[in-house]
Amino acid sequence: MNNSVESGLLTFTGFILFLFGFLAIVVNLIGADLVPFNYIDAHLSGLVAFLIKIIMIIAGIVIVVISRGNFSGEGGQWR
């Protein structure tokens, strides 16, 4: 697989993780639930479900930063 394709796929995956985690928290604040997270909300305590969503947001941000970073030591930080 091409490096730019891998970078784009990782960026997309990180963005989706961030988006779903953020939307799950916002929608839960108004009293509704997203269907993919019904199991987490129903079977785990509120704190654990909230922490899972926060971890999704943080993991998404980390994946995007790592996939967009230039770690070859040449040039700037971003591609």
Instruction: Give per-residue pLDDT as tens, 23-67.
Output: 999 998 898 878 888 888 888 888 998 999 999 999 999 999 988
What is the structure's pLDDT at 1? 46
Q: CA-CA distances (angstroms) from residue 5 to 15, 34, 59, 69?
A: 15, 30, 20, 14
How many domains are contained in the chain?
A: 1
Within a domain: 79: no
Q: At what angle do helices 46-68 and 3-29 cross, to 10 degrees?
A: 150
The residue ranking higher by pLDDT, 41 or 79, is 41
Q: Write down the pTM of the prediction.
A: 0.78
**Residues of the domain holding 31:** 3-68
Closest Cα to residue 34, out of 9, 64, 56? 56
Q: Is residue 53 part of a domain?
A: yes
**The predicted structure's pLDDT at residue 77:** 56
Does residue 76 sit within a domain?
A: no
